[in-house]
Amino acid sequence: MDYSYKNIREIYSHILKLGMLSPPEDVIATWTVFKNLSNITNMLELGSYLGGGLGIFNQLLHQAGHNGVQFVGVDHLDFVGAGARNRPGAWYTDHFNKCLSPEEQTTLKNLNTADEAANWIKERTLRLTGTPINLVCVKTEKELSDQQYDVIHHDYGDGVDENLRTIRHCLPKLKDTGIYIVDDWCTGAPLRTVATVIAQQEGLLHPFLWAKNKVFYAKNPARAQELVNAILKDPDNNPKLFKGMPGSEYFGSNYKTIRMHWQAIQWS
Ligand SMILES: C[S@@+](CC[C@H](N)C(=O)[O-])C[C@H]1O[C@@H](n2cnc3c(N)ncnc32)[C@H](O)[C@@H]1O
C-alpha cells in the first residue's frame, strides 16, 4: 500500500477498517518519518485500544524496511473489552459500531487480560493487513520493563499532571536517537498539549515535525535537527506539503522544524 500523500483516500478507508483513531494526514506524516529512520527494533504504544494504530504502524515499519519490530502496547482496557461492557452510549461504543464486525464486537466484550487483548489484536492485524505483528500488551505503564524503545506513541491521558507523569516515566525508556510522538495535540486533549509544553521547558522534548493531530519530538536538539534535515533531503519529500520552518530561538539558533501543510494534502 502506498502511504504517501498521493494515496490519501485509500489510507483513509484503511484507517476506518482497522479502527485507528487518527486522520490519514497523520499516517502520511508518520510514514515520512519512519522512512527516514534507521534500525527500528522496538516500539511502545501508550493506548493500544483496538490495535488499529498498531496494525498501521506495523505495516508502515515493514514497508520502510524495519522488519520484525517488537511492539509493546499499554491499555488498562477500561474503555475496551469486558471493562467497557456496562458503559452505555460512550463515544467509543459508536466507534466500535463503525469499525468492528458483530463477531469482533462479541469477542472484544470478552477481553479481560492484557494477554487476551494482545492475542485479539494480533489475529485482527494479520487478518486485516496480511502482516503479522510481534506484540506484547500490559495494562499499566508500571508493568513496563527497562526495555529501550526507538519509537513511543503517547495516545492517552487527560490532565496536565497525568500526562507529565507519563512523559517523565516513559521518556527514559526512549533511546537517545528515538522519537516520541504525541497524539491529539491541540485537538482532542488540550491539557496533554500543556504537558508537552512543560516537558519542552524542562528540556525533555524537542519538536521536529508538526503534523495534523500528532507532534513528533526527539530527545535532544541535535537529533531533532538531524531528522529535519533527513526528511527535507528525502527525494520523495514534497516541500510544499512538508515545509522546513525557522524555529524559535528557544531551542537554539537556526533550530528548524517541519510543518505539515495538511490542508494542501486534502486539496491535492
Ligand atoms: C485514544 S485511545 C488510543 C487509540 C489508538 N492509539 C489508535 O491509534 O487507534 C486511548 C486508549 O488508552 C486507554 N487508556 C486511557 N488511559 C489509560 C491509562 N492511564 N493507562 C492505560 N491505558 C489507558 C483507553 O482504554 C483507550 O483504549
What is the per-residue DSSP string for the chain?
Answer: ---SGGGHHHHHHHHHHHT-SS-HHHHHHHHHHHTT-----EEEEE--TTSHHHHHHHHHHHHTT-TTPEEEEE---SSSGGGGTT-TT-HHHHHHHHHS-HHHHHHHTT--SHHHHHHHHHHHHHHHHS---EEEEESSGGG--S--EEEEEE----SHHHHHHHHHHHGGGEEEEEEEEE-STTTT-HHHHHHHHHHHHTTS-EEEEE-SS-EEEESSHHHHHHHHHHHHH-TT--TTTEEEEE--GGG-TT-EEEEE-HHHHHH-
What grid cell was written down for 265? 494534502
Rounded distance between C-alpha atoms, residue 4 and residue 161, angstroms: 36
How sure is the predictor about 24, in pLDDT bands with cuts at 50, 70 and 90? very high
Pocket of ligand 1 (CB under 6 A): 20-22, 45, 47, 49, 52-53, 74-76, 78-80, 140, 155-156
Q: Rounded mean pLDDT of 201-230?
A: 97
Q: Rounded mean pLDDT of 178-189?
A: 92
- Of 29-38, 129-138, 182-191, 253-262, the least confident: 182-191
Average pLDDT, the chain: 94
Atom index in ligand 1 nearest the CA of residue 162 equals: 19
Contact 106/77 with Cβ under 8 angstroms? no
pLDDT at 120: 98
Residue 202 Cα to ligand 1 middle (Å):
25
How sure is the predictor about 94, in pLDDT bands with cuts at 50, 70 and 90? confident
Question: How far lies 56's CA from each of 36, 89, 267, in Å?
Answer: 17, 27, 24
pLDDT at 90: 67
Q: Rounded mean pLDDT of 120-145?
A: 98
Residue 208 Cα to ligand 1 middle (Å):
24
Atom index in ligand 1 nearest the CA of residue 19 equals: 9
User: What is the edge-to-edge ordering of all strands in the sheet holding 256-260?
Assistant: 134-138, 70-74, 42-46, 149-154, 174-182, 215-218, 206-210, 256-260, 242-246
In the predicted model, is pLDDT for residue 4 greater than 90? yes
In the predicted model, is pLDDT for residue 46 greater than 80? yes
pLDDT at 88: 63
pLDDT at 30: 98
- Of 32-46, 86-100, 147-161, 228-242, the least confident: 86-100
Please, what sign has the CA dihedral across residues 77, 83, 85, 87?
A: negative
Rounded distance between C-alpha atoms, residue 165 and residue 113, angstroms: 24
Span between the terminal Cα atoms of the chain, in Å:
19
Contact 15/212 with Cβ under 8 angstroms? no
Nearest residue (CA) to ligand 1, atom 12 = 47
Question: Buried b vs exposed e over 90-108: b needs ≥16 C-beta within 10 Å?
Answer: eeeeebbeebbeeebeebb
Q: Rounded mean pLDDT of 242-268?
A: 89
Residue 74 Cα to ligand 1 middle (Å):
8
pLDDT at 249: 83
Question: Buried b vs exposed e over 110-121: b needs ≥16 C-beta within 10 Å?
Answer: ebeebebbbebb
The 10s digit of each residue's pLDDT in 56-93 is 999 999 999 999 999 999 999 988 887 777 666 567 88
Question: How many Cβ atoms sit within 10 Å of the Cβ of residue 131?
Answer: 16
pLDDT at 131: 97
